[in-house]
Amino acid sequence: MPRHALIIVDLQNDFVEGGALAVSGGLELIPLANQWMPQFDVVIATQDWHPKNHQSFASQHPGVSIGDVFDLNGLSQVAWPDHCIQNSFGAKLVDGLNLSRINTIIQKGTDPEIDSYSGFFDNGHRKATCLADFLRSNDVDRVSVMGIATDYCVRFTALDAVTAGFQTTLILPGCRGVEMQTGDIKAAVEQMAAAGVTISPETP
């Protein structure tokens, strides 16, 4: 029987209040995730897992400031503060998240030469994670996506889920965005909708 999966994107210490790349309202997602997980057949968490010399970090490029956009191996790259470094406190999934309900954790961003917003692929679609294979092996045909950040990792995870053939829903109340430029979140939601993602303004 086809199954429905919840993908919880990057609920990590560095992305919530007090973290290196904090997103406003991130901590509000913990009780929501815990409340919703039992309603799904399968639960997956994605986790940014960067080596300390990751080339998306502004600190790796003299003269580049956080928020600048530059070319990284042929791809447009936002320069981020150092964040979610492997085995650091910042990379850990947030305290209070019910890990016992999570079936698997997909680590991404492990290659220092390319960033990985999506839980499915790196930003150049050069290498896949095992997420799609895991979902198919568990008879999943529908996914619902929540987490951080609406305009980056949530967006690209949802877009890749559609491309991979999964019926995909964005749980809008379960997302928080970066909004580096005014309108980024709205534009991201519109892009997802145009690609075939169902935008749910309601909780599951």
Active-site residues, by number, are 10, 108, 153
Q: By C-alpha distance, which of 200, 174, 178 is closest to 188?
A: 178
List the structure tokens of 96: 């209070």
What is the H or E stretch that residue 142 is in? strand 140-148
Report how far residue 135's alpha carbon sits from residue 128's, in angstroms, rounded to the nearest whole number: 13
**Cβ-contact 140, 81 below 8 angstroms:** no
In the block, which residue shows the tokens 């429905």?
Answer: 4
